[in-house]
Amino acid sequence: MRFRHKAAAGLATLLLPLSGLVALASPAQAADSATATYTKTQDWGSGFEGKWTVKNTGTTPLNSWTVEWDFPAGTRVTSAWDATVTNSGDHWTAKNLGWNGTLAPGASISFGFNGSGSGSPSGCKLNGGSCDGSSVPGDKAPSAPGTPTASNITDTSVRLSWSAATDDKGVKNYDVLRDGARVATVTGTSYTDTGLAKGTDYSYAVQARDTADQTGPVSGSVKVRTTGNTEEPPPTGDKVKLGYFTEWGVYGRNYHVKNLVTSGSASKITHINYAFGNVKNGQCTVDDTFAAYEKAYTADQSVSGTADTWDQPLRGNFNQLRQLKAKYPHIKVLYSFGGWTYSGGFGQAAQNAAAFAKSCKQVVEDPRWADVFDGIDIDWEYPNACGLTCDTSGPAAFRTLSQALRAEFGKDYLVTAAITADASAGGKIDAADYGGAAQYLDWYNVMTYDYFGAWDRTGPTAPHSPLTSYNGIPQEAFNSAAAIAKLKAKGVPASKLLLGIGFYGRGWTGVTQSAPGGTATGPAAGTYEAGIEDYKILKNSCPATGTIAGTAYAHCGTNWWSYDTPATINSKMAWAKNQGLGGAFFWEFSGDTANGELVNAIDGGLK
Average model confidence (pLDDT) across the chain: 89
CB 423 within 8 A of CB 486: yes
How many other CB atoms are found less than 10 A from the CB of residue 188? 10
pLDDT per position as a tens digit, 178-224 = 887 788 999 999 999 998 888 888 889 999 988 877 778 889 888 88
The residue type of 429 is I
Pick the CATH number of 28-130 from 2.60.40.290, 1.10.760.10, 2.60.120.10, 3.40.50.970: 2.60.40.290
pLDDT per position as a tens digit, 265-299 = 999 999 999 999 999 999 999 999 999 999 999 99
Class of residue 444 by CB neighbours under 10 A (exposed 0-12, middle 13-18, buried 19+)? buried
Rounded CA-CA distance 541/536 in Å is: 9
Domain spans of the chain, in order of start: 28-130, 149-225, 240-502+565-606
Question: Residues 24-29: what's their mean pLDDT?
Answer: 35
H, E, C per residue of 371-427:
CCCCEEEEECCCCCCECCCECCCCCCHHHHHHHHHHHHHCCCCEEEEEECCCCCCCC
Q: Evaluate if residue 231 carries a pLDDT over 50.
A: no
Rounded CA-CA distance 199/329 in Å is: 10
- CATH code: domain 240-502+565-606 is 3.20.20.80
Q: Evaluate if residue 521 carries a pLDDT over 50.
A: yes
For the full predicted model, state whether its pTM sits above 0.85.
no
Rounded CA-CA distance 74/72 in Å is: 6
Cross-strand partners of 338:
379
pLDDT value at position 248? 95
Reply yes or no on whether 68 is catalytic: no
- Do 28-130 and 149-225 agree at the fold level? yes
CB 19 within 8 A of CB 297: no
Return the closest-CA partner of residue 76 out of 61, 66, 86.
86
pLDDT value at position 235? 45
Integer-rounded Cα radius of gyration of the chain: 26
CB 266 within 8 A of CB 331: yes
- Domain 149-225: CATH superfamily, name plus number: Immunoglobulins (2.60.40.10)
Return the closest-CA partner of residue 594 out of 259, 245, 250.
259
Confidence of residue 106 (pLDDT cuts 50, 70, 90): confident
Question: Residues 35-62: what's their mean pLDDT?
Answer: 85
CB 412 within 8 A of CB 375: no
| Secondary structure class of 511 (helix, strand, coil) | coil
Q: Evaluate if residue 30 carries a pLDDT over 80.
A: no
Return the closest-CA partner of residue 205 out of 188, 171, 237, 182.
182
Class of residue 455 by CB neighbours under 10 A (exposed 0-12, middle 13-18, buried 19+)? exposed
Cα torsion at 17, 259, 249, 420 (round to 10°)? 160
How many other CB atoms are found less than 10 A from the CB of residue 45? 6
Which of the two residues, 323 and 21, has the higher pLDDT score? 323
- What DSSP state is assigned to residue 430? H
Question: Residues 567-596: what's their mean pLDDT?
Answer: 97
pLDDT value at position 62? 83
Rounded CA-CA distance 461/453 in Å is: 8
The residue type of 80 is A
**From the candidates 68, 247, 294, 381, which is the catalytic residue?**
381
pLDDT per position as a tens digit, 136-178 = 445 577 899 999 998 888 888 999 999 999 988 889 999 999 8
Runs of H (alpha helix) within 143-293: 258-262, 289
DSSP 287-300: S-HIIIII----TT
pLDDT value at position 22? 31
